[in-house]
């Protein structure tokens, strides 16, 4: 039984290893390359106004030129350069959000799952309560208190996103706590803190890796949405969602202002999702569906 | 051998409440997992506890290890009542009593190198410098027959028997005087079982350890124990020196267990000696809990509870047939 299961999982693992998501990894590599080296790669500064060439179409259309490959906006700013610079905003905001709510969620989940009893009950009910808050209205509330900015987005998502992590970490912790090595750790005299940090946490790292990779894609969309609604990053920052918002009013005659940032979002998210799915198969072949 | 008592258990009980209802839950009954058992183990001796699954063997192990609090009764380990230990004194108690559990695939943290698994108790109890601890871990691995050069590997790179050796090395690391073995070999192949049991006996000799070994397999217990207790539905029904129990089993349940253990002869057919299932421990039979399945049941067995009687020196049995 045990060996059969092990063989099955090994097989699933090697199958997953064999179909490496080159496309997804490619998207992520381009994205990270642009994040790190964008400053030198981008042809212009994101806030450089080329007033001689305002609302210029992309190079392959009539009136386009190689100076502005993806065209310019009504202020003469280069769309390609703004997208390249904007990648940093997307990743930085997404990672900051995960850092905030991941920390809260993981700590609460570990405590809830390991201590059980009334503590668990309290934390779980708090999760239910938190998940019941209507997201957009809460976002507007946070923004009206703090004023629209990237920081407001991080605070809002950071404080609202943790219940999902808490639930998953709690479940994992509870099933791990059944293992004999946890009982033996108690027999050895380990403190609760040591059991949680050195026996339980290392065993949920795989799950967390998968969760975070899959989450980055979703967060890029969410932060772009909030910026699109005007709740987040403010002009003249080249945030992708904000760029789409600014391009909205010109959509009838300057479609490139809204389409190219949208395509950038799509490929970045697609890359993280493809790699996240693959990681799930490799790191956790037993847990096919979640 | 000195007759110093290592573990003494007096009237030990552990009852688990059974609740029903989701919001206003109420207790609808209790499972008497361990019900008023008593035994004692002298220093250097080995008590084997046998019984069917669900009879309270593992609960007894948890209680003696101080992982669970008893409902009533006392567990006195080298003069200390385990149930009353807290904080610092419980921490010190951990150095004296260690354990090895059933499933070697679940008892080693898969994310740790075996060197760290073996040395963790030493680190927790701050025994020596980090270099000394490292050396000690390698010595322990060598002692149980694991090549110390493999100390930097992870548990999944070892076989079941090797993992159980690693678990034993870890249990030995604090120089305990008592080791609780909860089904130490039942997850292993028969050929490996003998090796592990022999290793345990060698170590017992070498470090003058006291064992409490828990198993469902009479053959395993016979191999290593000096004394044997037979458990049924949370109670010990017979307690005796090992040789005496095999020569002269008294309780009908013990006799049935012995008759049911396989013989190395393909022509001998095993008889199903006992009929029926183990009754629910939530609602145990009145009188002698064994009476519904007992081949020698008398009418008064159904109503009268009875205590352990000493038939010959050291041989106790709880059965009406032997009470007079």
Chain B nearest-CA distance from A195, in A, is 11
Q: Show the tokens assigned to B293.
A: 């399945």
Q: What are the chain B neighbours of A179 within 8 Å (beta carbons)?
A: 106-107
Q: Which among B98, B103, B105 has the least Cβ separation from residue A187?
A: B98
Q: Given this model, what pLDDT does residue B270 score?
A: 62
The pLDDT score that the predictor gives to residue A3 is: 46
Closest-CA residue of B relative to A175 is B106
Tokens of B49: 């506890």
| pLDDT tens digits for range A52-89 | 888 888 888 888 788 888 888 888 888 899 999 988 88
For chain A, what's the residue count?
A: 290
Q: How far apart are the first and last CA of chain B?
A: 34
Residues 25-44 (B) with a CB less than 8 A from some CB of A: none
The closest of A69, A64, A94, A96 to A83, measured between CA atoms, is A69
In sequence order, the 6+-apart residues with CB closer than 8 A to the CB of B248 are: B312, B315
pLDDT mean by block of 10 residues, chain B; 324 residues? 78 86 75 87 90 84 89 89 86 91 86 90 89 92 91 89 92 92 87 90 91 88 89 89 87 84 70 72 80 81 79 85 68
Domain that holds residue A225: 2-283
Q: Which residues, in sequence order, are bridge partners of residue B238? A: B230, B317
Residue A165 in domain: yes
Cα separation of B171 and A268, whole Å? 51
Residue A288 lies in a domain: no
Asked if B17 reaches chain A (Cβ–Cβ under 8 Å), the answer is no
CA distances to A130, A233, A248, B55 from A153, in Å = 17, 8, 21, 58
Q: Are the Cβ atoms of A179 and B106 closer than 8 angstroms?
A: yes
| Contact criterion met (CB < 8 Å) for A188 and B170 | yes
CA distance A283 to A287: 9
Token code pair at residue B119: 């040395």
Task: Provide the residue count of chain B.
Answer: 324
A203/B111 Cβ within 8 A = yes
In chain B, which residues have their Cβ closer than 8 Å to the Cβ of A184? 99, 101, 107, 167, 170
Query: Would residue A289 count as lying in a domain?
Result: no
Which residue among A180, A191, A205 sits closest to B106, beta carbon to beta carbon? A180
**Spatial contact of B141 and B177, defined as CB atoms under 8 Å apart:** no
Residue B97 Cα, gap to closest chain A Cα (Å): 8
Contact at CB, A189 and B95, closer than 8 angstroms: yes
Domains located in chain B, CATH noted:
5-96+176-262+270-322 (3.40.50.300)
pLDDT reported for residue A290: 39
Six-digit token string for B323 = 């009470």
Q: How far is CA A33 from CA A37, A135, A220, in A?
A: 6, 33, 17
Rounded CA-CA distance B312/B144 in Å is 39
Residue contact B109–A189, C-beta within 8 A: no
Which tokens is A146 given? 């703090």
Contacts A205 to B, Cβ<8 Å: 111
ipTM of the modeled complex: 0.84
A1, A4, A175, A189: best to mutate for the B interface, most B CBs within 10 A: A189
Contact, B120 vs B169, CB < 8 A? no
Cα-Cα-Cα-Cα torsion A17, A21, A24, A29, nearest 10 degrees, comes to 60
- Min CA distance, A184 vs chain B (Å)? 7
A200 secondary structure, DSSP code? I
pLDDT tens-place string over residues A109-120: 999 999 988 999
CA distance B19 to chain A (A): 14
- Is the peptide bond prior to A189 cis by the omega test (within 30 degrees of 0)? no
Contact by Cβ (8 Å): B206, B221: no
- Which tokens sit at B253? 């349940």
Which residue from A192, A243, A268, A266 is spatially nearest to A75, judged by alpha carbons? A243
Give the angle A165-A170-A172 at the CA atoms, nearest 5°.
100
Distance from CA of B104 to the nearest CA of A (A): 9
Return the closest-CA partner of residue A239 out of A75, A39, A85, A35: A85
- For residue B195, give both structure tokens: 């090796």
What pLDDT was estimated at residue B298? 80
**Gap between the Cα atoms of A199 and B229, Å rounded:** 35
Cβ burial A239-278 (10 Å sphere, 16+ → b, else e): bbbbbbbbbeeeeeebebbbbbbeebbebbbebbbbbbbb
Residues of chain A with pLDDT under 50: 1-5, 288-290
Q: Which run of H or of E encompasses B14? A: strand B5-20
Distance from CA of A257 to the nearest CA of B (A): 50
Number of domains in chain A: 1
Best B111, B121, B175 residue to mutate vs chain A (most A CBs within 10 Å): B111
B167 touches chain A (CB under 8 A): yes
Best B89, B96, B108, B120 member to test A by mutation, with max A CBs in 10 Å, is B120
Is A290 inside a domain boundary?
no
Contact status, residue B143 vs residue B172, Cβ threshold 8 Å: yes
Model pLDDT, residue A239: 87
Task: Please tell me which of the candidates A181, A189, A191 has its beta carbon nearest to residue B109.
Answer: A181
The pLDDT value given to residue A197: 92
The answer to whether position A235 is within a domain reads yes
d(CA A206, CA A214): 13
Token pair for B324? 């007079």
Burial per residue of B276-300, b for 16 or more beta-carbon CB atoms within 10 angstroms, e otherwise = eebbebeebeebbbbbebbeebeee
CATH number, domain at A115? 1.10.3720.10
Q: Where are the alpha helices (DSSP H) in chain A?
A: 2-18, 22-41, 79-115, 117-131, 135-146, 150-160, 162-177, 180-187, 192-194, 201-228, 240-248, 256-283
Q: Compute the nearest-CA separation of B312 from chain A (Å).
A: 37
- Sheet containing B315-317: give its strands across: B97-100, B178-182, B210-215, B46-50, B227-232, B235-241, B315-317, B309-312
């Amino acid at each position: 039984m045990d060996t059969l299961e092990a063989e099955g999982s090994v097989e699933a693992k090697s199958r997953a290893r064999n179909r490496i998501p080159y496309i997804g990894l490619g998207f992520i590599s381009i994205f990270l390359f642009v994040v790190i080296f964008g400053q030198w790669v981008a042809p212009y500064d994101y806030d450089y106004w080329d007033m001689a060439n305002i609302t210029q179409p992309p190079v392959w259309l009539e009136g386009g030129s190689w100076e502005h490959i993806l065209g310019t906006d009504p202020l003469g700013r280069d769309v390609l350069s703004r997208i390249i610079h904007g990648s940093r905003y997307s990743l930085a905001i997404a990672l900051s959000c995960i850092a905030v709510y991941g920390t809260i969620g993981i700590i609460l989940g570990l405590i809830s799952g390991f201590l059980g009893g009334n503590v668990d009950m309290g934390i779980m009910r708090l999760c239910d309560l938190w998940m019941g808050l209507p997201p957009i209205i809460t976002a507007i509330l946070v923004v009206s208190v703090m004023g629209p900015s990237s920081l407001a987005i991080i605070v809002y998502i950071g404080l609202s996103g943790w219940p999902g992590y808490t639930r998953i970490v709690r479940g994992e912790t509870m099933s791990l706590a059944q293992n004999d090595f946890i009982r033996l750790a108690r027999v050895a005299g380990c403190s609760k803190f040591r059991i949680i940090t050195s026996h339980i946490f290392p065993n949920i790292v795989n799950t967390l890796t998968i969760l975070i990779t899959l989450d980055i894609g979703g967060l890029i969309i969410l932060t772009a949405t909030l910026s699109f609604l005007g709740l987040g990053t403010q002009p003249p920052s080249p945030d992708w969602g904000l760029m789409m918002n600014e391009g909205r009013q010109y959509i009838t005659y300057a479609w490139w202002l809204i389409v190219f940032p949208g395509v950038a979002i799509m490929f970045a998210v697609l890359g993280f999702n493809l790699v996240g799915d693959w990681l799930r198969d490799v790191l956790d072949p037993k847990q096919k569906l979640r | 051998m000195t007759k110093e008592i290592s573990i003494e258990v007096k009237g030990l009980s552990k009852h688990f409440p059974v609740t029903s209802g989701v919001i206003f839950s109420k207790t609808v009954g209790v499972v008497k997992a361990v019900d008023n058992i008593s035994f004692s183990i002298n220093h250097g001796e080995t008590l084997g506890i046998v019984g069917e699954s669900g009879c309270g063997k593992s609960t007894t192990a948890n209680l003696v290890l101080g992982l669970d609090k008893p409902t009533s009764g006392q567990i006195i380990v080298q003069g200390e009542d385990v149930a009353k230990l807290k904080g610092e004194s419980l921490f010190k108690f951990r150095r004296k009593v260690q354990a090895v559990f059933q499933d070697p695939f679940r008892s080693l943290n898969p994310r740790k190198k075996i060197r760290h698994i073996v040395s963790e108790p030493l680190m927790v109890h701050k025994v020596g410098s980090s270099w000394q601890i490292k050396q000690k871990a390698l010595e322990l691995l060598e002692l149980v027959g694991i090549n110390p050069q493999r100390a930097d590997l992870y548990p999944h790179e070892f076989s079941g028997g090797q993992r159980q050796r690693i678990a034993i090395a870890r249990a030995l690391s604090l120089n305990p005087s008592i080791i609780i073995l909860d089904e130490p070999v039942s997850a292993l192949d028969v050929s490996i079982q003998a090796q592990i049991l022999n290793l345990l006996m060698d170590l017992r000799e070498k470090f003058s350890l006291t064992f409490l070994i828990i198993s469902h397999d009479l053959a395993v217990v016979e191999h290593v124990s000096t004394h044997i207790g037979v458990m049924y539905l949370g109670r010990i029904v017979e307690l005796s020196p090992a040789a005496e129990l095999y020569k002269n089993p008294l309780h009908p349940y013990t006799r049935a267990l012995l008759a049911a253990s396989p013989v190395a002869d393909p022509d001998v057919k095993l008889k199903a000696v006992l009929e029926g299932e183990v009754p629910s421990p939530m609602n145990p039979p009145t009188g002698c809990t064994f009476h519904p399945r007992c081949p020698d049941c008398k009418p008064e067995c159904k109503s009268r509870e009875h205590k352990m009687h000493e038939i010959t020196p050291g041989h106790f049995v709880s059965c009406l047939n032997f009470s007079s």
